[in-house]
Structure formats: C-alpha cells, structure tokens
Amino acid sequence: MFLRQYLWLREKLPIWKGSLFRWLFAGEQLQIEEGFKCDSWPSVNITDGAKVYIGPKVHLRRNVEIRAHGQSEVRLEGNIRIDRGVRILAANSAKIIIEKGTRIGLYTVLNGGDSIQIGNKVLISGFVYLQTSMHNHQREGKIQDQGYSHAPITLAEDAWLGAHVVVLPGVTIGKGGVVGSNAVVTKDVQAFEVVGGVPAKVLKTRS
C-alpha cells in the first residue's frame, strides 16, 4: 500500500509543481501551455525584449536553467523531456527552437550566442555542448578582450548525439545523423551519416 501511494505521489508531484509554476509566472514574456511538468521549478531569467515559450506536455527534470537575453527567444515546442542540470542560454537576437518529441540528457548546455534549431525527435545524450560562439583570438591583444564571433547550429530531425559530444559554431547535422560519444564536430554531417572522433569523421552511413 505504501509503495503504491509513493509511486502515485511521485507521478503527480511534477504535474502539481508545473501547474503552480505556470499559474505564478506565466505572462507576456514567459508563455507556458497546459500539461507542463517539472520535478523542481526551473531557473528562468528573461530580460526585457526576450521571450520564452514552453509548449504543451513539456517535462523539465531538476535544476534546469533557461536564460534569454537581448532580443532572443527560446521555444520548447511540445512533448519535450529535458533532464536535470540542462542549461539553455539565448543571447543577442538568437532563436533557440526545440521541436516536438526531442529528448535532452543531463547537464547538456545549449549556448546560443547565435541561433540553435533542433528538429523533431532528436536525441541528445548527457554532457553535450552546443557552442554557437567562439572567442576571437588574433595575435594582437588579449583573447578575453577581443569579443566573440557567432554562427548558428542546426540538428535536423532524428539526429542522435552521444554523450560528451561538442558541436562547434556553424555546424549542421542532417536528418538521421549520428555522432558518437566524445566527438568534436567541426563541419557538417550529412543525412544518415555516422561520425566519430576528434575532429569527427565519417565512419559509415546508416543502413
């Protein structure tokens, strides 16, 4: 009896927490649709001019952080599950769009100095880093004083990134592309290619 009650409570708590969070904080800059669930309230920081949209049936695990600054926008389209410790940062005029059915593993970082587009039913494992910004590093002057260059990242539908993958600015991973664990992706991955290594190279094509 006790176990059954515990399991029931564990299932319901994220629904109740999500409903309360939506009731307290949803507004013009933070839109939240029905069916939102969270294991703990996310840390959401939105500055003037930015927007965050959380679609229906989005489930955030513990300690998820969402930050939107400048004229940026973060959109979680629906039926998305984001594991604990994930950080989503949008700045400048970037748009971070995560389409329906995507799953993101624990402690992954989406660093959106430029836009990040993630298609339907993408799988992103834990400790992945999507990096759209890079320090300028000319010989003259200190690196930390030179600012950044930016380029967008696109993950097409059905892509799969293994654990500890790093995707660098300007990369597109095509439909059904697979990136092996610990790879560093520096150039585009074509549809259904399987890549791995540092830097990532084509290993085979999905059959």
- Number of structural domains in the chain: 1
- The pLDDT value recorded for residue 73 is 98
Q: For residue 98, give the CATH number of its domain.
A: 2.160.10.10
- Domain interval for residue 69: 2-205
Q: Which residue has the tokens 């399991």?
A: 7
Please enumerate in sequence order all residues whose Cβ is within 8 A of that of 31, keeping only pairs 6 or more positions apart, or say none: 51, 52, 53, 54
pTM value > 0.75: yes
- The pLDDT value recorded for residue 5 is 73
> What are the distances in angstroms from CA 138 to CA 132, 142, 187?
19, 8, 22
Amino acid at 90: A
Query: Cis omega (within 30 of 0) on the bond before 169?
Result: no
Q: Please, what are the averages of pLDDT over each run of 10 residues along the chain (207 residues)?
A: 68 91 95 96 96 97 97 96 98 97 98 96 98 87 86 98 98 98 98 97 95
- The pLDDT value recorded for residue 9 is 65
Contact predicate 81/55, CB 8 Å: no
How many whole angstroms separate alpha carbon 138 and alpha carbon 135? 10
